[in-house]
Amino acid sequence: MNWRVYLTLLRPWHSAQMVGLLFMLFFGLRMVVINLLGNTEGNALAGWGFVMPVIFGFVLTDAVRAPMHHPFGMFLPDLRRHLARWHLGTMGTLTLLCTGMIWKYDSALPPLTVAGIVAVLNLILLPGIWQVIGRVSQLFVLLVLGILTIAMVFPEELRLSILAHPWSIGLGAWALAWFFFHGVFSCRSGKRNAQIPYLPFISSSISTRKKAEKSEGRTSSKVKHPSPWTTTPSDGSLRAWLDVPHYVLTGKNLIGSFMPLLRLCVLGGLSAILFAQNDSGEIDRVLYRFVWFYQKPDNLIFWIVILNSIRTTGFLQPSCVYPISRAQQAKVHYLNFVIGMIVKITAIGTTFVLVAWFVANRHDWPRPMLGVVNLFQMLAWLFAVGSLLQGISLRYKIRQNTNAQSILLVLAFICAVIFSVFVATHLTFIFSLTGVACLVVLIATSQYVYYAVVRRYFRKMDFIMLNPSRSGSAP
């Protein structure tokens, strides 16, 4: 394998775009944190020691993912050895680069330890490349986000702890790095992972069915329609309020399973930082009315089910069902999207309010944050940015796999948080009529753009794809 082939794998233009996008995202997030927490000093460690390695690691991992993922990776002689060598080479160079930058700005930090941390973060996404085990890759992404958040929010503490225990941290980091690298590039792991059904020869009907069953079981972790809550009726406790909707939406219990709990913690943490208030007078009022009306989560579910049925029935009208014209299809698609977005946003908003209220009532939160009004602002941004991102993915035919939707939502969410916080802390007119008008304009523009994209798409797209199995389903 030569340098030309590796360069092709790296996809320079595509990777540059990704790096740029990610960099801007983190930079923006950094601005938010600086604003919120008041510490104006970034430090080289957080930037070059944490963020850049992860970004670079993401790009390098992507390059390696493609050949390792495919079954022909089992047949090309010494594929793993070559890939490992090249990966090691580029990773080593980047590690040196990042460590050098840190050394330049902050020579007090021990370079070996820092290099170890850089190496680990470079490799941290690598074990997650086996997307056949979807949970694992999600887990690692969340892990990375957590680490990065800590690095950006508490850079000084991080720096101090590294200075305090250079050897243990360094050794641990290098050990982990080796562990990741070896685990991914060794032959045994390759065989183990490739045997999960990616057989190059088309199997007979029996194994094809088994293959379909297996992959179906993996990807349909989300239940599409809310299932009725059939067990014992719940009470009005907070736990019930959290548990029941979660079960309905995802088909799994909130308490007792790992991933949703993690998600909840992330959401909870964010909402606490942003919206919890000491005197939660307004939240209390809203919530009290909310809880009083429904009494128990079961009733809420009941209403959700009814509303969903209404929506489904609405979409069964002849004007929405095939055969219809392309323009009409565009309208239906757009309507479906908007309703879906509204539902998601309502769900997110509700969760935030609930958790914020829970946290605010239980702790003395010293710093007043933004308040519930900004929640609505954030939701408006989420709506607008979400539509725009969806439009972009439609326009540039980003291949839809089962994770793409959630990734887009997360991305929109991050952007929405950044924008809304920035706007709230810098533009005081946001609470006036002008501010509301701006928000309305924002939403209207985003919807117009998205609708235009959808119309164009339906007008121009070919309904039959040459290789439907290859590029995933049509949106």
Partner 1 sequence: MTSPLVTYQLNKTFGAHQALGALTLEIPFGRVVGLIGRNGSGKTTLLNLACGLLLPTLGTCSTLGRPSGELAAPELSVLGIVAQAGQFINWMTVAQQLQFHASFYKNWDQPREQRLLDELDLNPARKIDELSPGDLQKLGIILGVCHHPKLLLLDEPMSALDPIARQSLLKFLLDLVREDEGTIIISSHLLSDVEKIIDWVVCLDRGELAVSAPYDELQERYAEWIVTPASGSELPRKFAEPWVLAREGDSRRARLQVRLPSSETIAQFSAQHSANVIDSRPLNLEQLFPLLINERSLAQ
The 10 Å Cβ neighbour count of residue 71 is 13
Structural contact between residues 101 and 32, judged by C-beta atoms closer than 8 angstroms: no
Rounded Cα distance between 449 and 9, Å, is 34
Looking at 18, 19, 82, 143, which residue binds partner 1 (CB under 8 A)? 82
Query: Dihedral of the CA atoms 205, 206, 212, 213 (nearest 10)?
Result: 150
195 belongs to the binding site for partner 1 (CB under 8 A) = yes
40 belongs to the binding site for partner 1 (CB under 8 A) = no
220 belongs to the binding site for partner 1 (CB under 8 A) = no
202 belongs to the binding site for partner 1 (CB under 8 A) = yes
473 belongs to the binding site for partner 1 (CB under 8 A) = no
Structural contact between residues 273 and 369, judged by C-beta atoms closer than 8 angstroms: yes
Rounded Cα distance between 432 and 428, Å, is 8
* DSSP secondary structure code for residue 315 in this structure: T
Looking at 135, 210, 222, 285, which residue binds partner 1 (CB under 8 A)? 210
User: What does each C-alpha distance from 120 to 49, 113, 123, 217, 416 come to in angstroms?
Assistant: 10, 11, 5, 32, 30
Residue showing tokens 């079960």: 247
Binding mask 155-194 for partner 1 (x = CB under 8 A): ------------------------------------x--x
CB of 189 vs partner 1, minimal distance in Å: 15
Q: Which stretch binds partner 1 (CB under 8 A): 66-74, 115-123, 161-169, 421-429?
A: 66-74
217 belongs to the binding site for partner 1 (CB under 8 A) = no
Q: Select 267 or 407, whichever has its Cβ closest to partner 1.
A: 407
Collapsed DSSP state (helix, strand, coil) of residue 399: coil
CB of 204 vs partner 1, minimal distance in Å: 5
CB of 397 vs partner 1, minimal distance in Å: 10
Structural contact between residues 125 and 61, judged by C-beta atoms closer than 8 angstroms: yes
467 belongs to the binding site for partner 1 (CB under 8 A) = yes
Q: Select 14 or 225, whichever has its Cβ closest to partner 1.
A: 14
Q: Which stretch binds partner 1 (CB under 8 A): 24-32, 34-42, 73-81, 388-396?
A: 73-81
Tokens of 186: 């060794």
Q: Select 131 or 328, whichever has its Cβ closest to partner 1.
A: 131
Looking at 23, 27, 72, 376, which residue binds partner 1 (CB under 8 A)? 72
Q: Which stretch binds partner 1 (CB under 8 A): 62-70, 133-141, 225-233, 432-440?
A: 62-70
Rounded Cα distance between 18 and 13, Å, is 9
Residue by residue, DSSP assigns 325-390 as -HHHHHHHHHHHHHHHHHHHHHHHHHHHHHHHHHHHHHS---S----HHHHHHHHHHHHHHHHHHH
Q: Which stretch binds partner 1 (CB under 8 A): 157-165, 201-209, 301-309, 338-346?
A: 201-209
Q: Select 362 or 460, whichever has its Cβ closest to partner 1.
A: 460
Rounded Cα distance between 336 and 311, Å, is 9
Rounded Cα distance between 176 and 182, Å, is 10
Type of residue at 332:
V
79 belongs to the binding site for partner 1 (CB under 8 A) = yes
Q: Select 108 or 202, whichever has its Cβ closest to partner 1.
A: 202
Write out the residues near partner 1 by the rule CB under 8 A.
Answer: 1-2, 4-5, 8-9, 11, 14, 66-67, 70-72, 74-79, 82, 191, 194-195, 198-207, 210, 466-467, 470-471
